[in-house]
């Protein structure tokens, strides 16, 4: 991202007369929540959970430091022991985990921030050494992904998965529902269902990972079924105005493919709109890569889904501002820039330089490369 970009400052009037008055730095109403700006912290896995997969003592500091985001979406958080696929990722299915997350939400609330938790089942992206009883990971079909996961302090090939039996699927939906209830008990403002990046729900959606012949495979409707059942269960449990969904229509993260993304995802956008959830979060392009990775009409999803459209992937402030003014999105999630810039919102607003992240400390470890990135004010005080 470039530094020192001239940037429209917060508007001095609350009256909006036309589209061009919009800026990233004005308040936005998301369901019943007031966000202080349109900049969202994207979910970022950092592999620092402690024993019992409880958020680490540093997590409350880390998220609290970033509370000036209009909304924080936490790192992916597993809904059950069965849902884990990487070392040291946090869960939200035990009381100590709920208590650990409560320390995080308290820290964010204390600074007036808003925070959703991203709920996750990894499906086939896992390893037997992470799994209860050393069992095979579960997936729509017994198709191993040609990719690696972080386990035993290094990157190793994912394990051969087994296909979920039809009568096991309601248990997955129930685990998402219970985790959503736990999220509210932990003080989150809402949850984001992780339907992106090659994990379980996307494995069902994309036919490169799903060759089932039952009600959860084959047609566009059948492949969307699990995502929609999970979303409906979560929305019924905690309210549609507290439920968001993340999708990545053309991403190949997790070594996945889809032969028909446009009709598949247009259908999903229509159905999510009918469920009345509060936002649709779309990774536009290859996650963390090219925004033009494959032909896809993201505006079609934006137009089908009538509530808040949250855009992500490779956004610069200039691009976000242009898309906002064009009416192509309502909120913008920034991922990598939030790692090295706890005060990202303030920096963007004044066009200050952005700090680079340290790739060596992304995954695992403690405070270093996690809570020790300075704000501009910290830097100038040194």
Ligand X SMILES: Cc1cc2nc3c(=O)[nH]c(=O)nc-3n(C[C@H](O)[C@H](O)[C@H](O)COP(=O)(O)O)c2cc1C
Q: Which residues contact ligand X by CB under 6 A?
A: 42-45, 75-76, 118, 194, 196-197, 246, 283, 287-288, 312-315, 334-336, 362
Tell me whether residue 221 or residue 292 sits nearer to ligand X (CB atom): 292
Which helix H or strand E contains 105, and what residues bound it?
A: helix 95-110
- Token pair, residue 294, equals 């494959």
The CB-of-291 to ligand X minimum distance in angstroms stands at 9
Tell me whether residue 72 or residue 233 sits nearer to ligand X (CB atom): 72
**Strand partners for 185:** none
**Which is it for strands 33-35 and 28-30: parallel, antiparallel or unpaired?**
antiparallel
Report how far residue 275's alpha carbon sits from residue 282's, in angstroms, rounded to the nearest whole number.
Answer: 17
216 is catalytic: no
The CB-of-381 to ligand X minimum distance in angstroms stands at 28
Tell me whether residue 190 or residue 314 sits nearer to ligand X (CB atom): 314
- Token pair, residue 158, equals 């994912």
Q: Closest CB to ligand X belongs to which residue?
A: 335
The CB-of-16 to ligand X minimum distance in angstroms stands at 26
Tell me whether residue 175 or residue 217 sits nearer to ligand X (CB atom): 175
Q: Scanning the structure block, which residue is given the tokens 């969202």?
A: 40
The CB-of-195 to ligand X minimum distance in angstroms stands at 9
Q: Which of 28, 63, 199, 265 is catalytic?
A: 199
Tell me whether residue 163 or residue 248 sits nearer to ligand X (CB atom): 248
Residues 100 and 54 sit within 8 Å (Cβ to Cβ): yes
Report how far residue 244's alpha carbon sits from residue 167's, in angstroms, rounded to the nearest whole number.
Answer: 27
The CB-of-298 to ligand X minimum distance in angstroms stands at 14
Report how far residue 198's alpha carbon sits from residue 10's, in angstroms, rounded to the nearest whole number.
Answer: 37
Which helix H or strand E contains 211, and what residues bound it?
A: none
Residues 159 and 136 sit within 8 Å (Cβ to Cβ): yes
CA angle 67–199–233, rounded 5-degree value: 75
Report how far residue 298's alpha carbon sits from residue 353's, in angstroms, rounded to the nearest whole number.
Answer: 30
Catalytic residue IDs: 199
């Amino acid at each position: 991202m470039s530094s020192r970009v001239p940037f429209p400052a917060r508007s001095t009037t609350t009256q909006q007369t036309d589209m061009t008055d919009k800026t990233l730095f004005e308040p936005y109403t998301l369901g019943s929540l007031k966000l202080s700006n349109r900049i969202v912290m994207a979910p970022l896995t950092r592999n620092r959970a402690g024993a019992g997969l409880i958020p680490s003592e540093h997590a409350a500091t880390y998220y609290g430091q970033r509370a000036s985001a209009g909304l924080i979406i936490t790192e992916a958080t597993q809904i059950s022991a069965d849902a884990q696929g990487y070392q040291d990722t946090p869960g939200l299915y035990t009381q100590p985990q709920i208590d650990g997350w409560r320390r995080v939400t308290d820290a964010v609330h204390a600074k007036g921030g808003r925070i959703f938790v991203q709920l996750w089942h990894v499906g086939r992206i896992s390893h037997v050494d992470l799994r209860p009883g050393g069992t095979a990971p579960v997936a729509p079909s017994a198709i191993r992904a040609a990719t690696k996961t972080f386990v035993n302090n290094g990157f190793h090939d994912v394990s051969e998965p087994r296909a979920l039996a039809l009568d096991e699927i309601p248990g997955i939906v129930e685990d998402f529902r219970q985790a959503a209830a736990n999220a509210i008990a932990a003080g989150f403002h809402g949850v984001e269902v992780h339907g992106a990046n090659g994990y379980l729900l996307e494995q069902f959606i994309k036919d490169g990972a799903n060759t089932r012949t039952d009600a959860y495979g084959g047609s566009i409707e059948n492949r969307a079924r699990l995502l929609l059942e999970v979303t409906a269960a979560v929305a019924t449990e905690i309210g549609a105005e507290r439920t968001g969904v993340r999708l990545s229509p053309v991403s190949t993260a997790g070594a996945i493919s889809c032969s028909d993304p446009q009709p598949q995802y247009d259908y999903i956008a229509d159905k999510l709109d009918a469920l009345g959830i509060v936002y649709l979060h779309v990774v536009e392009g290859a996650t963390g890569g090219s925004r033009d990775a494959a032909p896809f009409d993201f505006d079609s999803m934006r137009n089908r889904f009538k509530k808040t459209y949250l855009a992500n992937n490779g956004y610069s402030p200039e691009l976000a501002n242009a898309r906002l003014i064009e009416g192509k999105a309502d909120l913008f999630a920034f991922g990598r820039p939030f790692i090295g810039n706890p005060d990202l919102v303030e920096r963007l607003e004044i066009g200050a330089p952005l700090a680079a992240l340290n790739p060596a400390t992304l995954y695992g470890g403690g405070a270093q490369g996690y809570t020790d990135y300075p704000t501009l004010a910290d830097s100038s005080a040194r």
